[in-house]
Structure 1
Amino acid sequence: MTLGSVSGPGIEGRTAPIAPGGRFPALTTHLPRRLWIPLLLLVVASIPWRRGVYFSGGLDTVVLLKAAITVIAAAIALPTGRATHRRVPAAPFLLLGLYLSASAVGASMYGDLVPSLALVLRVGLAAVVVHSLLTSFHPFDVIAALTRVMLAVGLFAALTGLPTLASGRLSGGVPPIAPNEIAILCGVPFIVLFWRAVYVERTAGLVLLTATLAGIVLATASRTGIALLVASSLLALVRARHVRATVMVAAFASLPLLVYVFLYTDAVAGFLDRGGTGNTATLNSRTIAWSAAVDLAREPLQHLLGAGMSRKIIPVSGQYWSSQTLDSTWVSTLVQAGYIGLLLLVGLIVFGASAAVAAVRPVSVLLVVLLVFSVGRSILESGMMDASSGFLTFFVVVAAAGAHRLQRDVDDPVESGRSTPTR
């Protein structure tokens, strides 16, 4: 692989220059259709098409269409005979396979096999797509392609959903996705563009697009999404060895405004208490569901294996509501895949974090920040281990970071700190 290219000899795609700073493709760099089309199909199939509806079995039009789109994505992503096969780590795919197997066995034991198996197959096919793409393309190209398709889908949903702002929160128009989903779709591109502005290059168009994405996430009023974007931005700045003067000026100029908002307005209090005491999505209400989830299992095997990936709503007692969604990936994992699933999820995070930290700078900062965004969201939002855009982001970052660690000594001898051997 040459220093100024996105794809090397034998790898599908055109050679194109990218900005200095880790060979991460710019937003305008050409990426092959076999790379971004499967990811676009996966994102379209992973976002909700119907608001507030959970799959519990049966085959309707939406379920069949999502399954068909996922299969098409996997078929397109399969490597061709002429493609050079890159090294891909086995660990994340093995851990995910064990997670899905544990959840499927648990579902078969407790009567939710059909709906759970459908979700297991969709997540498994998504992993097949990620593996296929990483065997043919540079890991950074895969992350860049996912960023672009999330940007396109997120912007389209936000623009078509502008009339929903009258309700106080921006929701999707086409498709009618929830505000938190828009926060994910636009949050990931924001992180990538913000990182690029700090570490690589800064243009007027880049700054405008980054500000637009920040405005969209703010309009969703997603508390977790906004908090994680702020934390991710601060982490990217803290880890920078040299920060451009304009970035520092903009950061310091915003401090008086933030102080005023926090100290002299009730905007923060109203934002944190959104919906009042009757809102079951508040932190206090969520902990009620979490307590019920811990006590849900009745047998040792259910504690170990869970009850299947389709279990997303659990009964609660002692409240004026009788059931509640599992608004935490960790609690969802405990219910859906048991303690074995929790251990496997920790293994995925540890693998991804170690690979991200070991990556070359400044891309290591981007990988770490994206991982922090995904894992941070998982505390108060579910979906990081489901057929969702949150899972796709998390798993692509983990697998791509591991692939980069395996491939960089071959592809990038200069960046890895090793010289090319001479004969």
Structure 2
Amino acid sequence: MPAPVRSPFSRRQAAFFSVWLLLVVSVVSWRPGVLFTGGVDPVVIAKAAVGLTAVIGAVIVTRTVRRHGRVGARSLVLLLIVVAVSSVGAIAAGDATSSLVLSARIVLVTATVVVLVASGPPMLALTTLLGALGAVALVAAVTGIPELLSEGRLGGGIPDMQPNEVAGLAAPAAVALVVDLGRRGLRVGNTVLFAVFAGILFATGSRTTLVVVGIAVVLALVIAWPIPRSTTAGILVLVPIAYVLLTFTDVVEQFAVRGQSAAELASLSSRTIAWTAVLEVPFETWAKWIGVGLAVKTVTVNQRWWDSQVLDSSWVSVLAQAGVIGMALVGLWVVATTLDSLRSDRMLRSLTLPLLVLIVGRSILENGLIESSAIFALFLTISLVLEPGSEYPRPPRETAYGLLREPEPWRAGDGRPRP
């Protein structure tokens, strides 16, 4: 009798992946360019229902596992303070409703992440989340091909997303695949998938994401050194191709300029106009210190042809939404998580450190670090699995007498290999 075909995914992996998929779908844009202002419509209700389903799915998953871990409190405390400070600022600004709804969304995402992180080993939680991000990016890219043909940039079809958001979903998957290439070498699966996600990134025309991904890729290969021979051979093949593109074509120049004038490039597509408006808020005002709420996505500007500008920077957004206090706390959170990654074991560090470089580097020119977004879910997951206060029990092992020992917990940063 032939042996049964073994699925590449276990039931546990499939369960984690399914919940992550629901979470990602609930936080990505369904209507690009539409900012939430506190109203209720079918799309808002549908996204809330999908997010609530993700929470319920996470609870079901945690009830089916035999061993449960403990999640550190530092990241959650910092996040709670940032959200609380911004909520106070929103109430003071008279815009409490929409900001409180967005705070509730963050709590919903956080609850899902916490439950899943406590329900499995760190690599299980991270790899299944990365798989969900890549799956949504792939579906959005395939269904967005008509937009690529008509507009010149690849946006999402289903879900309907802007090109930069599609790039933000594809980038973590691409970096994770490079980590796998650095560990196991070139294989059909990881090589083809990396080529697909690299193509998606290039087709989106997202310059910031592509540059930061390049830095993260180099870092991933350096951490994995010495890399397998097949990966080295692949790099040697790519070097002359890159040289020809840089030297004899204008592909890179066209990608960098993207039809913009020198003034637009100098102002980072008008981003610096919005940043200046936020930075010029007087220090003697409460808005400078505690912000005006999470609902603030634009700022009033004094320009000839427009009077408002999207912030387009996670750090400037945090400064506007939660003030100097909130931005300082987020900065502390990022630094602490990065240090935790540097202190973790090599396997976890080789994945989390390049991802942190990607997330933090992209946050300078893109939103999503502290809001109900896929990037926030990824950052929170990384920070929780790395915290010294987080631990997950090892599976029981047989002794010399055939008995089972009690599982030993791993702790972030203890230097021991993890399951």
| TM-score normalised by structure 1 residue count | 0.86
Do structure 1's residue 239 and structure 2's residue 223 form an aligned pair? yes
For 1:149 and 1:328, locate their aligned partners in 2 and report how far apart those are by CA, in whole Å: 24
> 2:69 & 2:35 partners in 1: Cα distance?
38
User: Which residue among 198, 206, 230 is the counterpart of 1:222?
Assistant: 206
Alignment of 1:282-361 (within 5 A): 283=268, 285-296=270-281, 299-361=284-346
Q: Which amino acid aligns with 2:275?
A: W
1:21 maps to none
AA aligned to 1:99 is V
Cα distance in 2 between the residues matched to 1:51 and 1:120: 21
Q: Is the 8 A contact 1:180 1:222 kept in 2?
A: yes
- What's the counterpart of residue 159 of structure 2? 175
Q: 2:333 and 2:11 mapped to 1: Cα distance? A: 31
Consecutive unaligned residues of structure 2, counting only runs of 5 or more, are 1-5, 395-407
Alignment of 1:212 with 2:212, yes or no, is no
Q: Quote how far apart the aligned CAs of 1:281 are.
A: 10
What amino acid maps onto 1:172 in structure 2? G
Distance in 1, matches of 2:393 and 2:258, equals 47
Q: CA deviation at 1:389?
A: 1.1
Between stretches 264-273 and 322-331, larger displacement belongs to 264-273
Counterpart Cα distance in 1 of 2:313 and 2:16? 31
Q: Extract unaligned runs of 5+ from structure 1.
A: 1-16, 18-25
> Could you tell me the TM-score, scaled by structure 2's length?
0.87
Q: For the Cα contact (< 8 Å) 2:69–2:391, is it kept in 1?
A: no
The code of the aligned residue for 1:246 comes to S
Q: In structure 1, what is the Cα distance between the partners aligned to 2:11 and 2:31?
A: 33
For 1:73, the equivalent position in structure 2 comes to: 54
Q: Which amino acid aligns with 2:297?
A: K
Identity of aligned residues (%): 34
Q: CA contact under 8 A between 1:87 and 1:403: conserved in structure 2? A: no
Aligned to 1:387: 372
- Report the Cα distance in structure 2 between the residues aligned to 1:178 and 1:331, rounded to whole angstroms: 20
Please report how far the alpha carbon of residue 275 of structure 1 lies from its aligned counterpart in structure 2 after TM superposition: 3.7
Cα distance, 1:30 vs structure 2: 4.5
CA offset at residue 279 of structure 1?
5.8
Residue 107 of structure 1 aligns with an amino acid whose one-letter code is: A
Judged with a 3 Å threshold, the aligned counterparts in structure 2 of structure 1 residues 367 and 223 are, in CA distance, closer, same or farther, namely same
Task: Measure how far apart 1:126 and its partner are.
Answer: 0.8
Contact kept in structure 1, 2:267 and 2:273, CA below 8 Å:
no
Equivalent residues of 1:139, 1:404 under 8 A apart: no
Distance (Å, rounded) in 2 between the aligned partners of 1:122 and 1:176: 20
Q: Between 87-96 and 235-244, report the one with greater CA deviation.
A: 235-244
Contact 2:344 2:386 in 1 (8 A): yes
Name the residue aligned to 1:112.
Answer: 95
The change in CA–CA distance for 1:275 and 1:27 in structure 2 (over 3 A counts) is: farther
Q: Does 1:55 align with 2:36?
A: yes
Equivalence for 1:376:
361
Return the offset for 1:62.
Answer: 1.2
The 2-side partners of 1:298 and 1:239 are apart by: 43
Could you say what secondary structure the match of 1:314 adopts?
strand
Match of 1:257 in 2: 241
SS of 2:289 mapped into structure 1: helix
2:157 partner SS: coil
**Structure 1 residues 50 and 158 mapped into 2: Cα distance closer, same or farther (>3 Å)?**
same
Q: Does 1:150 align with 2:151?
A: no
Counterpart-to-counterpart distance in 2, 1:254 and 1:418: 36
CA deviation string 1:139-195 (max 9, x = no partner): 211111111211211111111111111221111111111111111211111111110
Supply the distance in 1 between the matched residues of 2:267 and 2:245 (Cα, whole angstroms). 22
Task: Check 1:361–1:27 CA distance in 2 against 1; reply closer, same or farther (3 A cut).
Answer: farther
C-alpha distance 279-163 of structure 1, shift in aligned 2 (>3 A): farther
Relative to structure 1, the CA distance from residue 64 to residue 417 in structure 2 (aligned partners, 3 Å threshold; closer, same or farther) is: closer
Aligned runs of 1:86-101 on 2, under 5 Å? 86-101=69-84
Cα offset, 1:76, TM superposition:
2.4
Aligned residues of 2:185 and 2:229 also touching (Cα < 8 A): no
Question: Contact between 1:408 and 1:416, CA under 8 Å: does it hold in 2?
Answer: no
- C-alpha displacement at 1:407, in angstroms? 4.0
RMSD: 2.6
Distance between the aligned counterparts of 1:82 and 1:27, measured in 2? Answer: 20
